[in-house]
C-alpha cells in the first residue's frame, strides 16, 4: 500500500518487484527508450511509468512514502545531483525513506566497461552529493552498507542492448571498442553459468535517509 517512486527505473524490473509486494509503484525515467522497454512488459500490479528527470519529479509535496535511486544518481548531470536529492526530499512524506544504491568504481565489471564509459569521476561526485544530503536539515542518514551483486547477461548482444538503453550517449564509444569487448566477454566474466549466462560481480553501496517530521 505504500506509494513508491523508482527514479531512473530503466526497464522497470524494480518497479514490477515493488508492485508484486503490494506497493503503488511508479517508475520515472527521462529516456523514452527505457520507458518503452518497461511498458512492453505486462503489468503485474497496476504499476505506472512516467517520463521525467530527477530534477523535476511529477509529484506533489509529501506525496511519497519512499523514493529509490537504484544505480541511477551518478547518471544525473553533475549540476543536478543535489537538486535530484532535494526533489526526493520534497516529495517524501514525514518519516518517508530515500534509498540510494550506487556502484563503486572498482571490480571486474567496472574494468570491463571502463573503455565505453569511465564513471570514476561521476561516481565520486554522486558520493559527494550523498554526503551533502546527509547534512541537510530534516534529512537524516539512517543506514549505509556495501555489498556485491551480479550483473547477468545471456549473450554479448543482450549486454549491448542493456548498456546502450541505459545511456544512448555510449553508442560511439561502444562501437569503437566493440571488437575488444566482444573478445573479452568470456574471460572478463567472473562466472559462466551452465545455461551460458555470463555473471559479473560488482560492488555497491546503499545509503538510506529518512525525512523528519
Query: How many Å apart are CA 3 and CA 86, to the nearest integer?
Result: 18
Its pTM stands at 0.90
pLDDT digits over 81-124, tens only? 999 999 999 999 999 999 999 999 998 899 999 999 999 999 99
Q: Which residues, other chains included, contact 77 with Cβ-Cβ below 8 Å and sequence gap of 6+?
A: none
Is the pLDDT at 153 greater than 90? The verdict is yes
Contact indicator for 35, 51 with CB cutoff of 8 Å:
yes
Residue 168 pLDDT class (50, 70, 90 cuts): confident
The confidence score (pLDDT) of residue 83 equals 97
Q: For 33, phi and psi rounded to 5 degrees?
A: -65, -40
Contact indicator for 27, 38 with CB cutoff of 8 Å:
yes
How are beta strands 92-103 and 191-192 bridged, if at all? unpaired
Average of per-residue pLDDT across 150-163 = 94
The runs of H, that is alpha helices, within the chain are 13-20, 32-39, 81-91, 108-113, 120-134, 156-166, 171-188
The number of helix segments (H) and strand segments (E) in the chain equals: 7, 8
Cell of 144: 549505509
Neighbours of 49 (CB within 10 A): 20
Query: How many Å apart are CA 134 and CA 136, to the nearest integer?
Result: 6
| Cell 566477454, residue located | 185
| Cell 543506514, residue located | 143
Query: How many Å apart are CA 153 and CA 8, to the nearest integer?
Result: 20
Query: How many Å apart are CA 83 and CA 80, to the nearest integer?
Result: 5
Amino acid at each position: 500500500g505504500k506509494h513508491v517512486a523508482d527514479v531512473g527505473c530503466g526497464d522497470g524490473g524494480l518497479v514490477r518487484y515493488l508492485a508484486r509486494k503490494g506497493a503503488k509503484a511508479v517508475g520515472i525515467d527521462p529516456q523514452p527508450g527505457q520507458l518503452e522497454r518497461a511498458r512492453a512488459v505486462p503489468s503485474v500490479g497496476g504499476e505506472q511509468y512516467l517520463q521525467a528527470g530527477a530534477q523535476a519529479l511529477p509529484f506533489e509535496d509529501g506525496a511519497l512514502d519512499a523514493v529509490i535511486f537504484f544505480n541511477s544518481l551518478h547518471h544525473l548531470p553533475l549540476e543536478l545531483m543535489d537538486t535530484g536529492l532535494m526533489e526526493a526530499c520534497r516529495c517524501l512524506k514525514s518519516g518517508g525513506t530515500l534509498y540510494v544504491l550506487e556502484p563503486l568504481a572498482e571490480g571486474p565489471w567496472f574494468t570491463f566497461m571502463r573503455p565505453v564509459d569511465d564513471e570514476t569521476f561521476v561516481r565520486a561526485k554522486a558520493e559527494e552529493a550523498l554526503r551533502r544530503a546527509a547534512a541537510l536539515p530534516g534529512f537524516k542518514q539512517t543506514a549505509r552498507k556495501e555489498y556485491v551483486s551480479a550483473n547477468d547477461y545471456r549473450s554479448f548482444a543482450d549486454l549491448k542492448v542493456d548498456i546502450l538503453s541505459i545511456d544512448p550517449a555510449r553508442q560511439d564509444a561502444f562501437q569503437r571498442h566493440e571488437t575488444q569487448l566482444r573478445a573479452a566477454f568470456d574471460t572478463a566474466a567472473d562466472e559462466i553459468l551452465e545455461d551460458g549466462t555470463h555473471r559479473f560481480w560488482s560492488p555497491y553501496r546503499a545509503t538510506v535517509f529518512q525525512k523528519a517530521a
